[in-house]
Amino acid sequence: MSVTEPASGPVPHLKTAAAAVARNYGDASIAPSLVSGLAAAFEWFCLSLVGVGLLPLFSVSLAGLTAAVPIGAAFLTLLVAQLLGANDLSLLRRHSRRFAKLLIAWSSVFGFVSVLLIIGDGLPDVARLWFPAWYVAGVMTLGLSSAATALMTRRLTRAGRLQKRAVILGGGAMAESLITALEETGGNELAILGIFDDRNDDRSPENQRGFPKLGNTSDLVEFARLAAVDLVIVALPPTAEVRILQLLKKLWVLPVDIRLSAHSSKLRLRPRSYSYIGHVPFLDLFDRPITGWSQVSKRIFDVVFAALAIVALSPVMLGAAIAVRTTSKGPILFRQPRYGFNNEVISVMKFRSMYADQTDIRAEKVVTRGDPRVTPVGRFIRRTSIDELPQLINVLKGDLSLVGPRPHAVNAHTEQKLWEEVVDGYFARHKVKPGVTGWAQINGWRGEVDTPDKIQARVEHDLYYIENWSVLFDLYILMLTPVRILNQENAY
C-alpha cells in the first residue's frame, strides 16, 4: 500500500460464514470474575442494609459502632461463602445449591457474632430482641438476592456473554479429539466459534463435530479483529516447534489468550505447568493484558483523573481555543483517524496547530522543525502538548485511556514505509487502549519520527508498558508527564 493512500485498518476479506460469525460475536464477553465480584457486592449491600435498617425498629441507636455489627457480619458472611465456593460461575446459575452455601455461611457468622456480643454484653439488652429478627431477615434477603443473581446470570449465559469465546487453530483428528474432550468436561464455560487451518486437504475437513472451518491463519487474525475472541487454542503437537513459532509470530499481536492444547500430548509436565478448561490441560503461551477487575480499575482511574484534569485545566483549554480561533482561520479542533484498541480506527481530537488549508489528516508528511504548515500558536501548543488536551474528552468517551501507547495515525510512516512495515510486531502495541500519555513519551520518545530507530524505540517502550502495567505505574507516568514535557525540545 502506498503511504499516500488513505488507510482505515484491515480490509475485510473473510468468507461469508466467518464474517457472519464475527458479526454475531461483536459484543465482548464478561469476565466471570466480574460477575462473581458484583454478585457478592450486591448481596453484601442487601444484607448490610437489612441489618442496619432493623436496628431503629428495636430502639437501638445507630450511634457509635453499632451499625458496624451488621455491616461487618455481612462482609464475613460473603467471605465465608467465597471460601465455600458459592461465587463460582457454575453455582451462580443454580439458585438452590448456591443458597444452601449462603445459608451455611450466614448461620455460621450469625451464631459466632451473636454469642460474642451477648456474652460480652456488646449491645444493650433491648437489642437482643433484634437478633432473631436479624437472622430471619438475613435468610430472606440472601434468598431473594441470590435468586435475582441467578436470574441475571442465566440471562447473560443465554445471551452468550459469560462464555469464553474460543477458536481452534489446526484441524483434523487432534482438533476433533480436543472438541470432544471440551464438550464432555468443559461445562458451559467455553463457546467454540469455529476452526481455522492452513491445510486444504482431507486432513482438514470443512466441518468437525458441527463446528465450521472458517479460514486460515491470516483469516484468523482478521476474524479476531472483528469478533470479540477471548481465546485461541493451538491444536498442534508440542513437538511441532517450528510451525508453532511461525503461527505465534502472526498471533501474538492480538489481544487474546493463546493456549497450546496438551490434551493429546504424551509429554507430561508438572501439574502447575498447565491451565485447565474442565479437565482438559493447556500450556499457556500468551495472556491478554488488562482484563477483568484490572480493566475495571483502569477505567475508573481514567474517568476520575480525566474529569479532574478537565476541570483543573479548563482555563488553559479555553485560552488555547481562543488563541487558535483568533490567530488563524478554520476550526478550533482537528480530528484525525488513528489506530485504537485492537486496530479499531478511532477519531482523535486535538487543538488545530496547522493552517486550516494545510492540515494533514492522512499523515502523509511528518511534521519537522520549522514546518511552515504549523501556525505560531500551533508551535507553542505542540511543544507544550496543550494541543493534546481535547483528548481528555476521548478518554471519557472510552476511545482512549489516560496512559497507554500513543495512538498513531493510520497512515503514519517513515522513509516511505508504514510503521507496521518498519517494526516487526508493531500492532502488538494495540493490545490495550492507546493513551494521552505513555511510557515512551516520558522517556523522551515524542515528536518527529524520521528514522526507523525512533519508531522501534517507541514500540519497545509501549510493549514494556503493556507487560508491566499496574495502576501505580499509570499514576507514576501521569505524575511525570508535565515535568518531562516541559524539559523536552523535540516536539515541533
For the chain (492 residues), the mean pLDDT of every run of 10, in chain order, is: 37 71 80 86 92 80 71 91 86 87 92 77 61 89 92 83 86 85 75 86 76 86 87 84 85 88 68 76 87 90 94 93 89 88 89 82 70 85 88 93 88 71 81 91 76 84 92 93 72 55
- What's the pLDDT score for residue 478? 92
Q: What is this structure's pTM?
A: 0.79
Give the per-residue pLDDT at 62.
64
Q: How far apart are CA 376 and CA 368, in angstroms?
A: 14
Task: Write down the pLDDT at residue 5.
Answer: 37
Least Cα distance to 348 among 337, 360, 359, 356 occurs for 337
Question: Which of 39, 43, 47, 40 minimizes the C-alpha distance to 69?
Answer: 47
DSSP bridge partners of 283: 260, 274
Domain 16-29+163-288 is of which CATH architecture? 3-Layer(aba) Sandwich (3.40)
Spatial separation of the C-alpha atoms in residues 471 and 300, rounded to whole Å: 10
Going from the C-alpha of 94 to that of each of 88, 98, 99, 138, the distances in angstroms are: 10, 6, 8, 20
User: Tell me, what's the pLDDT at 10?
Assistant: 42
| Grid cell digits, residue 479 | 505524575
Measured in whole angstroms, the distance separating CA 213 from the mean position of its chain's CA atoms is 28
CA distance linking residue 168 with residue 216, whole number of Å = 11
Domain ranges of the chain: 16-29+163-288, 32-159, 293-487
Instruction: Give 238-293 pLDDT, tens digit per residue.
Output: 777 888 888 888 888 888 899 988 876 666 666 666 788 878 888 888 888 888 88
Element of type H or E holding 299: helix 292-327
What is the predicted pLDDT for the residue at 358? 79
pLDDT tens-digit readout, 317-347: 999 999 999 888 889 898 888 888 988 888 9
- Residue 322 has a pLDDT of 93
